[in-house]
Every structure is written in structure tokens, then in C-alpha cells.
Structure 1
Amino acid sequence: KDETLPANGGIRSYFGHHSFNHSMMVLSDMPQTTKGSWFLHYEDKMDTELIDTIKGTIYKIWQTKERIAQLKEQRKPIPSYLPNYLKWLDQSLNKMRSVAVYYKEYSTLENLQLLGEEYIRQMKRDLTPKTFQTSILCQKIGISHDGFYSSMQEYHKYDASDFDYLDSLGYDRIIKEAQQDLYTIHANNQFSTLNSSLDCRTDSDIDPMQPLCIGMDYNANINWIVCGQPRANRLNIIKSFYVKFERKIPALVADFCTYYAPHPNKTVIYYYDATALGSNYAVNDQDFHWVVVHEFERHGWQVIDVYLGNPMRHDEKYLLINQGFAGKQRLMPYFNRQNNDDLILAIQSAGVERGRNGFRKNKSMEKQPESEEDLLEHRTDGTDAFDTLYIGCEKFPQHDLYPICVGGVR
């Protein structure tokens, strides 16, 4: 990748009108590790509206060619607009393809008629279950059942988008306009403007009258906030935030406060342990706890800081949280899928290793430089922030002590 992609040259002034100029095709089995998963990020870069428009244009080209062929068979004159229309469609198709990213996953079972059932049976017999899952079925490695969060299941994820509010922002109108236009690039700026204005009003899982509970993790290169709200026997992880490199805790708190600016209850229950005290390699001379409280108060929020003591031992944390996922603790964690995609991926891939006091979360990659195959946000830093939030809400419940606290007034 590092050598081949930069060598993908060609002079656009001569060949830029061809959609294959500077194009790439990447083919692979489904990766089994994060190191081999760099190309999976192309799925996030795919504009599905643009791809649908390309498919519609291809159909219109076929339809126009069929019309011309029928006229030739009937020995009728071909209207001059048809070849011109065909040429315009072809030019439009090239423009769209030149900027398009297409991502698709195919199972070997789609070639069953060609390969035969015996081949599939043989592969299932001879390959390991994980290799069969990735190389034959093309399925992504999901929740690690021998990882640190082994009791997490798919039903611990949920969707909670407020579509009425999204419709009021005009998404529906822009999508319809894009569908009517063959070349939808003009809509991108409108989408980015709308995306930058999204806030907590797009979420339907927030209790507007209750405070927000947070756990954090502090690191020189990445800092996290994981936000949740307990409800009955659930702990809804409603959103997570992170900042990287030169953006530090003040920027992280600012992102949080901007997103939750419309939230009526400007109270944060901040759970923290000894790792937040006495040291600070992310912002200034004050420790993490002081900076977090100061920044929230500077943005007009009331902070209820709850000290958890020394960090819980990994084996005790493993037992507590996995019992929570299994419904054997007071709170069971659930994750808003849209607002925690990076956190969910980090939790699903968190492994375990042997330590002096038994097994522990494998944090060996936290100090390694970031790469495209191993992004900081997919490591265990965010999972530590989730751990702090869950331990705080489960062992040190404060939520019900402040049932009506709006704007800092009880």
C-alpha cells in the first residue's frame, strides 16, 4: 500500500476525462486483524446517493441504446437528440465515476453455481472457523467472545435517531434534489453544512430532565469522554467523544458542550479515579480533574464530581462489566449504535493477556504510533473511559439524587 498507491500516476490534462485515470481496485479476503483492515475504511467514504445515481445513469444508457437499436431494426430515422443524449449521459457517467468510491462485500456463496456445494463443504471442513468466516463467507470479525468484553451481544446495541427532527433540517429535500440530478456533487456542501449543525436533538434516547453521566480517559495523543444515562436497569451509552494529538481536554469538553447545548439539564456527573489526579501530560500544570471541572464550569455547566478511588483491578473489572452485560448486575449497558461507532469497535476488539495478578485487558498497543491500519480511536483508551462510566453508575449511583436540576437550579 505505501509503495503502490503513491505510484498511481498519470497526467490529468491528457487523461482526466477517462474515469479510470488514477483509479484503484482493491480486492481482498475479509481481514482478521486490525493491521489488515486499512481498506475497510473505504466503506465510510462511499456516497450511496452517488452510487445509486451512477446505476440509474447506466440504466438510462442501456435504455437509450435499446431505443436506437429498435429504430434501426424498424428502418426508422434516428432523432438527432438521441446520440447527443447518449453522449451527454456517457460524459456525466465518467464525471461521477471519476470521484466515486464503491465498496462491496461478496460471499463465496454467490458463486455457488460455479464452485459447487462440495467445494463449500470442503472449505468448511478444512479451514478454521475464523478463516471460513472471513475468506469464504466474507463476514467481518464481530464481538470477540474470548476478549475482555466477552459477554457483550449484538442486542446490546440500539438505534435512536429522531427522524422528525432530521426531516425538519431538510435532509429529505436535499436527497430528493440529489436523486433528480445526475451529478450529485453539488449536494455535498449542503450535507456537510447540515452535519456540522447536528446536536443532541437528533437523538431520541436522551432524558432531557436528567443530568448526563460521563467517564473519561486521559492520554497524550487521545482523550475520551463516554456519556451515558441510567434508566431503570439500563445504562444507555448515548454518545462518545474523542480528540487527538494537538486537540486536548479543553477542546474535548467544548465538543461535548456544543453537542449538548440544547439539553435542558446543564448538569454533568463526572466519575473519575486516581488516574485523573496529580498528573497532567495533556493540557497544562493542573491535573486532569481540575481541568475537566474548570472547562465544564467555564461553559456554564454544573459538575458533580464523584471520586472512585484507585482504579479497579482488571480481573474485578472484567467480572463486574461482563456480569452487567449478562444481566447479573443492577445496570446492563446498551450502546447507541450511531453515536458510538468507534467505541463499539474498540470494545469488540479489546483482547486479554496474562498478568501477574491473572489476566488483564491487553493495552500493549496504546503507546505505539498511529497508523492507517491501527487508529488511536480503535484502541483500548475509549474502553477505559467506558469502564469508568459503568463502574461509577453501578457502584456509585448519583443519578437519582438530582432528579430535577435544570440550568444549575434545583
Structure 2
Amino acid sequence: MILSDMPQTTKGSWFLHYKDKMDAELIATIEGTVYEIWRTKERIRSLNANGKPVPAHLKGYLRRLDRNLNKMRSVAVYYREYSSIENLQLLGENYIKQMKRDLTPLTFQTSILCQRIGIAKDGFYSSMREAHKYDANDNQYLDTLGYDYDFATLDARADADVDPDAPICIGMDYNANINWIVAGQPRDRRLNVIKSFYVKFERKIPALIDDFCRYYATHRNKTVVFYFDATALGSNYAVNDQDFRWWVVHEFERHGWTVEAVYLGNPMRKEEKYLLINQAFAGKQRLMPFFNRSNNEDLILAIQSAGVRRGRNGFDKDKSGEKLAESEEDLLEHRTDGTDAFDTLYIGCEKFPYRDAFNLSMSGVL
């Protein structure tokens, strides 16, 4: 059993991933078995109370239920988040009021209300707010699947925020141990970050693009606007022989997609990037970014916890942890690699907008 307050740092967030390991169907079966054991015991107690003999099959049935319950529990993971308010009858209203007085707002939020923390006010993305996240499930499509479906097998048909007739814009990040795609679609003054993908360790760029193409297999406009800067050229430590740009274009074309490769030049200066993206979150640029909550859980956590590192040459995103070995307490997907892919996507969409037939006329990359 692991019990904890809601963590306040990325490093302390490792146990939140137990939620992904929980088999809801197995938990429901365990609950049903516990109820059946209780119901059977009640029947036995009732028979004993009335002086009636207990059938032998009931005792055998009870032992069989108990064996099955133990087998299921031996492989089960159960994850829940509880607010102390749910325990109000035991704790009392005065205790909650006292904690609100005595604790800092952040500690009260995590320790008493069990709420996940928002964006660090002194972080690299300090202008991002909770309102920049949205939910966009296509419930009409999900209803056609009934109740027996696995979220891990869903594809873009379950997303209500995807325009199937518009291209998908992507930014990427290339690292020896983790590679990212962050996908978005500009619409009016919004940049909807519709989904992010990553692969780790032995899975490299071909596997990453395969994941993307499989998820968007039903997308009608199979055009990818691939924004990249000089970091994608002339180097390669994720795949072999060719540089990152070549492999990305090659793999998408192999899957039948058209690639509009848009070169952004040298990476934007740190302070300029910080100002641009935070002004974007504040609504002071042409596009404001918004994140599909359920399709970007790891990316959002990485963005919310991205810090700032100050040095002699000004400041930059704190990437001090990128080269460290992964641990259960410090997952690769919660570091800054994914945020760099988002930066590239936003800079590309903001500075080099792509016009297609859905908006004006097919004119390529401007």
C-alpha cells in the first residue's frame, strides 16, 4: 500500500502512473466477488440463526470464492485519489477550516483537497493557466463502441477537436533515449495541441511515426506540416545513416502521407522564445495554445513543471535533468524534451503559418 499527499514536484509524481496500471474490469470483478462472499456468509448466518442445516455446497462455494479472490488480488493494482472532504464526518468541519488557515494554499490544495498542482509561477511557462486545457471526446463515436472498449486502442475518431480535412502540424524533439511528436491544428486564433506521442529507448523515430500514422489512419487530409530547426539537420543519434529531417520525411511518405517540411532556421534565442510563448498564453500573439487534456497528460505535466535556469548568459529552460538515467521517480516523459517539441510546433505555426484549401486556398508554406 502506498499512501501520499498529491505530489508538488515532477520527481514526486512517480506513483501517479499506477493509475495506468489499474485494470478497472479486474477491480469490478473483485468488488463483485467480495459482495458474493458477503451474500453467501449472510445466507449461512441466517440458516444458523434459524437452526437449519447449512448445505455442504455453500461452504465449498465460499472456499472457492475466497481462493479466486486471493488470486485476483495478487495481480491487482487499485488506484484512487481522495479528498479529505470525503472524510468530513470523521475529521470534522473545524479541522478543515484550521488546515485552510494554517497551511499554505499549495499545501492545502495537495494535502487536504488532493488536487494536482497547476503551473509553477516562476517556471518557463508561467503564463499557462488551467483554462488552456480542454476536453474533446467525441461521445457520439464512443457510444457506438458500447462500454467494452480499451482506451489504449482508441484512435482519432474519438477526438472531437480534430479537423479531418485540415493538415496536421507537428513539432519534434530528438534524443538518444526519448523522441517526441507534438501535433496541433491552428483554428482561427487558437492552436489546438490535439495529441502528443513519444517513444523511449530501443523504439526510435520509425516507431514514433508509425504510432502517429496508426492513430490518424482515418484522417482524410494526409498532409503533415513538419516544422524543424537546425537541430534536425546533419546529426543523428536516434536512427542510422541519415539525419533526423530525412528520416521523418521518409517515414511519413512510406506511410502514404505528404510532408510539407518547413525549416525554421537556427533555434530561437532563449529569452525570445520565453517571451513569445508566454505572450501567446497571455493572448498577446496571433495564436493562443490550448491542450487536449486526455491526449497530452505527460506533455502537460512536463510543461507545468519546466523550470528556469539562470546563468551568465541570461536564462533558459532548466534542462539539467535531461541526461540523467531514468528512474521510477523521474520518468523521461516528464522532462523538458517534450516541451521543446511543443516550442517548435508553436513557433512554426505562429511564425510560418500554413494555408490550405480549408481556410483560403492551397498555397503551400508561407
Which residue does the alignment assign to 1:385? 341
Alpha-carbon contact 1:209-1:405 (below 8 Å) kept: no
Alpha-carbon contact 2:286-2:350 (below 8 Å) kept: yes
How far apart are residue 381 of structure 1 and its match?
A: 0.6
**Match status 1:63 vs 2:39:** yes
**Match status 1:248 vs 2:204:** yes
Residues 249-278 of structure 1 show CA distances to partners (whole Å, capped at 9, x for unaligned) of 222222222222221212111111122223
Alpha-carbon contact 2:165-2:358 (below 8 Å) kept: no
Alpha-carbon contact 1:149-1:348 (below 8 Å) kept: yes
Aligned-partner Cα distance in 2 for 1:349–1:309: 28
Using the TM superposition, name which of 260-269 and 49-58 deviates more. 49-58
Name structure 1 gaps, 5 residues minimum: 1-24, 176-190
Using the TM superposition, name which of 81-90 and 240-249 deviates more. 81-90
Equivalent position to 1:128, from 72, 87, 104: 104
Aligned-partner Cα distance in 2 for 1:273–1:104: 42
Alpha-carbon contact 2:182-2:196 (below 8 Å) kept: yes
Aligned length: 363
Alpha-carbon contact 1:227-1:240 (below 8 Å) kept: yes
How far apart are residue 376 of structure 1 and its match?
A: 0.9
How far apart are residue 402 of structure 1 and its match?
A: 7.0
Equivalent position to 2:12, from 36, 60, 65: 36
Which residue does the alignment assign to 2:28? 52
1:241 alignment partner, SS class: strand
**Match status 1:232 vs 2:171:** no
Equivalent position to 1:298, from 226, 245, 254: 254
Aligned-partner Cα distance in 1 for 2:283–2:199: 32
1:354 alignment partner, SS class: strand
One-letter code of the match for 1:240? S
How far apart are residue 147 of structure 1 and its match?
A: 1.6
How far apart are residue 80 of structure 1 and its match?
A: 4.2
Which residue does the alignment assign to 1:21? none
2:183 alignment partner, SS class: strand
1:312 alignment partner, SS class: coil
Aligned-partner Cα distance in 1 for 2:184–2:207: 20
Alpha-carbon contact 1:234-1:331 (below 8 Å) kept: yes
Equivalent position to 2:245, from 261, 265, 289: 289
In percent, how many aligned pairs have the same letter? Answer: 75
One-letter code of the match for 1:65? K
Using the TM superposition, name which of 358-367 and 140-149 deviates more. 140-149
One-letter code of the match for 2:229? D
Residues 349-378 of structure 1 show CA distances to partners (whole Å, capped at 9, x for unaligned) of 111122345432111111111111111111
Distance 1:401 1:269, change over 3 A: farther
Using the TM superposition, name which of 235-244 and 353-362 deviates more. 353-362
Distance 1:372 1:399, change over 3 A: farther
Alpha-carbon contact 2:14-2:331 (below 8 Å) kept: no
One-letter code of the match for 2:341? A
How far apart are residue 384 of structure 1 and its match?
A: 0.7
**Match status 1:157 vs 2:157:** no
Give the 5 Å matches for 1:141-180.
Answer: 141-168=117-144, 170=145, 172=147, 174=148
How far apart are residue 300 of structure 1 and its match?
A: 2.3
Aligned-partner Cα distance in 2 for 1:342–1:405: 36
Aligned-partner Cα distance in 2 for 1:263–1:315: 37
Aligned-partner Cα distance in 1 for 2:84–2:99: 11
Residues 69-98 of structure 1 show CA distances to partners (whole Å, capped at 9, x for unaligned) of 223333334444433333333233222212
One-letter code of the match for 2:282? A
**Match status 1:218 vs 2:218:** no
Which residue does the alignment assign to 2:64? 88
**Match status 1:338 vs 2:338:** no
Aligned-partner Cα distance in 2 for 1:45–1:171: 22
How far apart are residue 386 of structure 1 and its match?
A: 0.6
Aligned-partner Cα distance in 1 for 2:340–2:31: 44
1:335 alignment partner, SS class: strand
Which residue does the alignment assign to 1:365? 321
Which residue does the alignment assign to 1:9? none
Alpha-carbon contact 2:120-2:305 (below 8 Å) kept: yes
Aligned-partner Cα distance in 1 for 2:171–2:43: 64
Using the TM superposition, name which of 215-224 and 396-405 deviates more. 396-405
One-letter code of the match for 1:319? L
How far apart are residue 288 of structure 1 and its match?
A: 1.9
Give the 5 Å matches for 1:386-401.
Answer: 386-400=342-356
Alpha-carbon contact 2:168-2:183 (below 8 Å) kept: yes
One-letter code of the match for 1:31? P
Using the TM superposition, name which of 281-290 and 305-314 deviates more. 281-290
Which residue does the alignment assign to 2:263? 307
**Match status 1:278 vs 2:234:** yes
Which residue does the alignment assign to 1:72? 48
